[in-house]
Structure 1
Amino acid sequence: MLVQTIIEKDINHKVQILEYLYSKEMIWVSTDELVKKISVEQRTILKYMTEIQELITEYCSKEVILLREKNKGYRIKFIKKDSFIMFRLFMINKSIKITILNKIFLSGQLNSVHFSFDHYVSSATFKRKIKRINSLIKDYGFKIVSQEGIYFFKGNEKSIRLFGSIFYWQLYRGVKWPFLNIDQTKIFSFIDKVSKSLNYPVSIILKNKISYNYAIGIIRYSHNEKIELGNQDEWKKIKEINEIVTSRMSTNIYNLFFSEGIRSEDEIHFNISRLQTGANIFENQKLALFVIELHKEKKTVIYQATEAFFKLFLKKMHLNLSDIDQQKVKNIFVAAFSIHYRAFLFQDTPFIEKDVDQALKTYKQLNNLMDQIFIELREMLNFSLFNQKYLILNQYMYIFSELFPLNLLEKEITIYFDEPLEKRREDLAKNMLNNFLGDQYKLRIFGTSELFEVKQEKIDLIISSSSSEKFFIYYPKVPIIILKKNILNISSSEILLCRRLLELISIYFEDKEEMKSQINKLENVFYKYN
């Protein structure tokens, strides 16, 4: 997560403690448990807890209450519904690095002497913070530079705005308006007028996201930092399309931008185009298909990339158009078009691997398929929009999920679950395993009553709470995990460890010693393996 990589380590640790206590709600959490969770010494945890209490006092001790009891540990209570979110935000904003970024974004520049005086930091400390921030943001295509003690952003303007959108949304998530010099009501009114003109209803969450993007754009524009699109043929085509689309609107969108002081043609077209991508405006499929038809007539690279992707995707999955529901065909095409449109819009802006949804990396075979499709498209078309590998691949995965479960291509793993349970309780246990493991793995789970349905050589893993030697005799080549307790008595947090078991299956056949060392790390749940 971007914000967590920016804030200082001690603040990050305190935020992690707060989140952990909040997740436990009214359960007592011991100091030893926090030591394991945060991976620091006990005296450091005690120091952090003292500092958290001081922060609570500074914030509002009537809204947040930290309880401590000997031999029990800590509990935390939040009196108001949003107290946790607001207090967490209060803690994060204690970060000097967050404050530096905030000051430069909102003011356009920062005076190092004034900042050091206001925030009681030395010049050397301030420079160290700047150096650390630059090491984190360099991958985004810009940096903080100085001129006669004045610090400001320098680099690709699209990169700065994209980073700003990610930074502010992760930090505030709509619970607080951070742009004090921008009227949020006016921004909301602007979005309402545009969405009404496009016949596209906007949820409050989406409205907040769009409002952050526009506020950042207005602030950057007011600092004379403007988007320049150039005169390349593709942008000429898109400007012509935007003119046609906006001419159908009941409200003159140009006047809306003019009212905010934005008169640059490139700036306005950038914002109109961005509205058609990141805002999911194409959920209005009638509008989407109209826009796509215009791109088809103009033969834009966005349309060409989308058409090529669609054909290659069908080919790789051995599908014909007749095999797919026509509404899903439209959904996939519109989604792919929106992905390529956004990639085109930010083609010269780095979108780095750590910004990708890490959960999707679990599906290795699906990743491989999408990576192969991406490489073939890039070689076939050689369009600049394919510079955005991680942005595109991340979204391709969701297109796949429109038709298939994400684990479709993964290795099928057959688990024999041996428990002397009645059928109802056996089904309950199997459902429990599927709920916690089946989202990321393609599982087949057989119980004792179904053993006759699966051949011995097809079993990949046996899970049981019985330590009977029969397993080791009858299944000498199968990994066998013996549970310390009946699976129905294992907590959800413990069963999550079974995810690791499935990763270990491949290790088992290649390196039994490695699997043994890994299993030992899970000794609180498992005590024996074959």
Structure 2
Amino acid sequence: MEKEFTLTQKLLILLDSEYRWFTLAEIEEQLGVSDKTIRKIIDETVQELPPSIHIEISRGKGVILHYEKRNVAIGEVISSMYRQRTLYQLLDLLFAEGGQSSLEELADKLYMSSSSLKKLIIRLNNHELKRYHLRIAYSMPEVKGNEMNIRYFYWKLYHDAYEFSGWPFPGIDQAQIHEYITTIESENDIVYFLNAKRSLSFLAAIIMTRVLQGKYADVPRGQYDWESSMLHSSVTALARALEQRYSIHLPMDEIRFLQAMFSLGQYNYYDDAKISTMIAMEKTNLVQIQEEKYQIVNHFLMLALTAFPAIDMNDRFIWEVGEFFEKLRLENVLPGMIAISTSNLTDYVQKECSPMYQRVRSCMQEWSLRYPDILYNDYHLTKLTLLIISSLRYKSKRAFLLIGGEFSIRHYVAKLIKNEIGDELIINTSIMEGLSDEIIQKHGIDFVISTFPLELNTVPVVIISTIPTKRDLENIRKELMQP
């Protein structure tokens, strides 16, 4: 996505996060650009917004976004604006007829000069396409590079442009594709998330368009057991249906690519009984340590339990970790997939859950010493961090809260800590005559939370600010994790 539009997107998402005035200083900090650039972005954005959405700028107040939120998603507005960009229109045209038009003919179709089009292609080659190791030729413009990377790039492009509605593939029957995916769901008792199902339909359409153009993927068999995968027979049947519908031949590499992407799609099991059966099977299979795929899971579980003693190592958690590593192995089979795997939650997790994220990173670094050939990135660390955080079960403990000099706010601070920590922590805010080891033992206190140092021998003391910081809350969590 071009830099200017990326800034527009960030601006709208920021203004939409809260209905209030944002100061220019706040926006500068979030977008990382100057006051002058922000004003320019706002002026250009206002011209493209629909009449129902308005950006107001006020001297002394800042910037605010006005619109009625019922049935309006700012993401849909952003996608619509993106489709109007010449950059998108060029790439969409190249996807449909790449290599069939000269630079001059393509420029006429886009209502621009040949020199302007060449400058746009140069920028695409140096920025948007560079990450995917792709480039556009000049004489007969066409996206060139590894076929897998071309598909990944267009998959992301069309997702950004039609995330919520629309269908950019006129030669492919959307309803038929959805019907095929529904059949896969029915045969395997699963249900894809709505956005995942839409994303998979886009992918299927991209595959069919490329194959119809004579462009094929190359997926090495590798060490992955394709035939034993749950979706193997259903995806093979899908491939045969597509062959008949579009009068084409899908070689085994294309079937593997389809199978991999459908397996990586986000879905839930429809039947709770089936979930229970699969969880039990995974638990049984983990004892078969002669198979590497189970060694991979077991090794991580041991490292995770050492790093996070409070993990509730129940059957479902073990199964979910197994699912994670199964998908990680599958991503490693697909050329280039690891390089483009991203999550919009990574920045949040790295910032808001930093201590947990760093410990998960350490676990995976140690795990990689045994399995150096299996690659991963921040996207996978984000998924693991969220999985582990949601599975932590702290031992219920009782703490005494001591607020020095600000006793009147003790109940506010206690509630704040409870909201962040959860029901595993019982906080005592009562008034006591002194605070000795004997009194602590009498009231069954496990540790003390205080705004100033104390001399106690029987229980630990966690020092916090008058209003607890994120670090203070993390220190309290660490105390809950102690045996």
TM-score of the two chains, using structure 2 as the length reference: 0.71
Q: Which structure features the higher share of helix residues?
A: 1
- Identical aligned residues as a percent: 15
Task: From 48, 56, 76, give the equivalent of 1:55.
Answer: 48
- What secondary structure sits across from 1:201 in the alignment? strand
Matched residue, 2:322: 333
Identify the range of structure 1 (105-114 vs 448-457) with the bigger mean alpha-carbon deviation: 448-457
Q: What number of residue pairs does the alignment pair up?
A: 438
Instruction: Give the residue type in structure 2 aligned to 1:136.
Output: H
Matched, 1:200 2:193: no
Q: Please state how far the C-alpha of 1:266 moved relative to its aligned partner.
A: 1.6
Q: Please state how far the C-alpha of 1:87 moved relative to its aligned partner.
A: 2.9
Q: d(CA) in 2 for partners of 1:41 and 1:174? A: 32
Matched, 1:188 2:181: no
Change (3 A) 1:22 1:462: closer
Matched residue, 2:466: 463
Task: From 2, 11, 23, give the equivalent of 1:7.
Answer: 2
Q: d(CA) in 1 for partners of 2:279 and 2:54? A: 50
Matched residue, 1:256: 241
Q: d(CA) in 2 for partners of 1:139 and 1:300? A: 39
Q: Please state how far the C-alpha of 1:459 moved relative to its aligned partner.
A: 5.4
Change (3 A) 1:366 1:24: closer
Question: Superposed, which structure 2 residues align to 1:159-308 within 5 Å?
Answer: 159-230=149-220, 232=222, 234-235=223-224, 238-242=225-229, 246-247=232-233, 252-258=237-243, 259-260=245-246, 261=248, 263-280=250-267, 285=275, 286=277, 302-308=293-299
Q: d(CA) in 2 for partners of 1:356 and 1:30? A: 25
On the 8 A contact 1:418/1:463 being kept in 2, the answer is: no
Instruction: Give the residue type in structure 1 aligned to 2:453.
Output: Q
On the 8 A contact 2:403/2:410 being kept in 1, the answer is: no
Q: Deviations over 1:384-416 (max 9, x none)?
A: 3x12344443333233234217x99xxxxx995
Matched residue, 1:380: 370
Matched residue, 1:400: 388
Change (3 A) 1:299 1:392: farther
Matched residue, 1:100: 90
- What secondary structure sits across from 1:192 in the alignment? helix
On the 8 A contact 2:143/2:150 being kept in 1, the answer is: no
Matched residue, 1:134: 125
Q: d(CA) in 2 for partners of 1:46 and 1:291? A: 56
Q: d(CA) in 2 for partners of 1:459 and 1:349? A: 41
Task: From 77, 92, 105, give the equivalent of 1:87.
Answer: 77
Task: From 359, 366, 369, give the equivalent of 2:356.
Answer: 366
- What secondary structure sits across from 2:214 in the alignment? coil
Q: d(CA) in 2 for partners of 1:389 and 1:372? A: 13
Change (3 A) 1:139 1:428: farther
Structure 2 unaligned segments of length 5 or more: list them. 396-400, 436-447, 455-460, 475-483
TM-score of the two chains, using structure 1 as the length reference: 0.65
On the 8 A contact 1:332/1:402 being kept in 2, the answer is: no
On the 8 A contact 1:415/1:462 being kept in 2, the answer is: no
Change (3 A) 1:415 1:41: farther
Change (3 A) 1:309 1:38: closer
Q: Please state how far the C-alpha of 1:343 moved relative to its aligned partner.
A: 3.4
Question: Superposed, which structure 2 residues align to 1:30-41 within 5 Å?
Answer: none
Change (3 A) 1:103 1:430: farther
Query: Once superposed, what is the RMSD of the aligned Cα atoms?
Result: 4.7
Q: d(CA) in 2 for partners of 1:376 and 1:39? A: 35
On the 8 A contact 1:277/1:338 being kept in 2, the answer is: yes
Structure 1 unaligned segments of length 5 or more: list them. 1-5, 409-413, 465-494, 504-530
